[in-house]
Amino acid sequence: MIYILILIVVIILSSAYFYLKPAKKVTKNIFNAEYYRGLNYLLNNEEDKAFKIFTALMDVDSSTIETHLALGGLYRKRGEFDKAILIHQNLLARPTLETELKNQALYELAKDFYSAGLYDRSERIFNNLSEIKSYKQSSLEYLIKIYESTKEWERAIDLVKTIDTKYINNEKTNSLLAQYYCEISSVYETENQIEKAIAISKKALKTNTGCIRANLQLAKYYSQNDIGISAQYYNAVIMQDKLFAPYITSKIIQLAKRVDNSSTVIKTLVSIAEHKDIPFIPEIYYFILYEKDDIAAKKYINTFDMKDTVNNFVISHVLAASDNGDKTDGNLTNMVNSYENIFAANFHFICNNCGYKSNELNWKCPSCNRWETILPKSAIDIIRDGNINE
């Protein structure tokens, strides 16, 4: 009996709470039967029926607008851009929409268009929204993303220059600017306008002295007619990021092969060999051997700690391969070939932000769209990474 009494009291109290709480909150309750019916239609691809219900609901209750915005965003995340666009366009068709909600719906619609690759339409909306203070920064950032997608580098540069922030789209502003200059430089290169390409890569380097890409571009451009300067730019890259050392070494050796070993090129290789923090690079060893300097080659090997499992594994294989190689006539190609059989000297390019793998060096990751997150990895780097992860 006492339990029944308690139950009755609880029921009375909870109904009292339900009826006495502010009326506004009651109308905010979106979980009514009609709403679920609409949701069901939407999920079953019966958008027309769903929108009829949602529109009717919106007439009596503006709070469902927020839910629509969330739902549209969800569809966009799932890659169902057409549905997201329909939801947001439907919202915007409401004649009584408050300005703030209208702007919010417009912002979402612009993001839908951007995600769907409809850049013109997206650009138009973001341009308008960038006039509104609370949407300015994020609209400008989207506009920059659009110009990146459409490869309108000049427009991207102009826009970045108008924004006074240290970071844009989570990238350092000066790094981003330098990348855009490098993009333009690449275009000049494909058009065979090397002088213009050089000038703009230098501009990139001036904007961001740490721009590895600009150094690599300049090294490549100068390799045509000034090996010394080329080697200097390659060397600059290694000083900027030691993880590039094996990749750059292969470039420098290509250079050396082309010009019959100019002294600057050799000097650069020696400076890499003498650099304490750079791991063993088989090409350097082979190159020194090729120069018929057995003592120097041995000295290079002796700088590495053979107690390190990866060093031990790699160096003993390299030594075995070079013993099999035809050292007497200094045939580097033979040696490198036998080395390639063991380690497949190709480079893999891996994004350290999302793990995207590729056979070419992209400066903007095609998967996560971040800049300068991709690193060249030699087979040995990959062995070493695997070893560290264990």
Give the footprint of Zn ion on this chain (CB under 5 A): 351, 353-354, 356, 365, 367-368
Closer by beta carbon to Zn ion, 67 or else 367: 367
Closer by beta carbon to Zn ion, 58 or else 212: 212
CB of 247 to Zn ion, least distance (A): 18
CA atoms within 13 A on the CB side of 182: 27
Closer by beta carbon to Zn ion, 313 or else 363: 363
Closer by beta carbon to Zn ion, 335 or else 351: 351
The CA distance from 176 to 327, in Å, is 47
CB 247 within 8 A of CB 347: yes
| Close Cβ partners of 84 (under 8 Å, ≥ 6 residues apart) | 72, 73, 75, 76, 108, 112, 115
Closer by beta carbon to Zn ion, 198 or else 375: 375
CB of 113 to Zn ion, least distance (A): 24
Q: Taking the C-alpha atoms of 96, 101, 103 and 109 in order, what is their torsion angle to the nearest 10 degrees?
A: -100
Q: Count of H helices and E strands in the chain?
A: 21, 5
CB of 370 to Zn ion, least distance (A): 5
Backbone phi and psi for residue 166, each to the nearest 5 degrees, phi listed first = -80, -25
Q: Which of 124, 132, 42, 141 is nearest to 86 (CA)?
A: 42
Query: How do 357-358 and 171-172 pair as beta strands?
Result: unpaired
The CA distance from 42 to 230, in Å, is 61
Closer by beta carbon to Zn ion, 334 or else 369: 369
Closer by beta carbon to Zn ion, 264 or else 373: 373
Closer by beta carbon to Zn ion, 89 or else 367: 367
CB of 156 to Zn ion, least distance (A): 20
CB of 364 to Zn ion, least distance (A): 9
CB of 212 to Zn ion, least distance (A): 17
CA atoms within 13 A on the CB side of 158: 6
The CA distance from 297 to 291, in Å, is 9
CB of 357 to Zn ion, least distance (A): 10
Per DSSP, which regions of the chain are E strands? Answer: 167-168, 171-172, 348-351, 357-358, 374-377
For residue 304, give the DSSP letter.
S
CB of 375 to Zn ion, least distance (A): 11
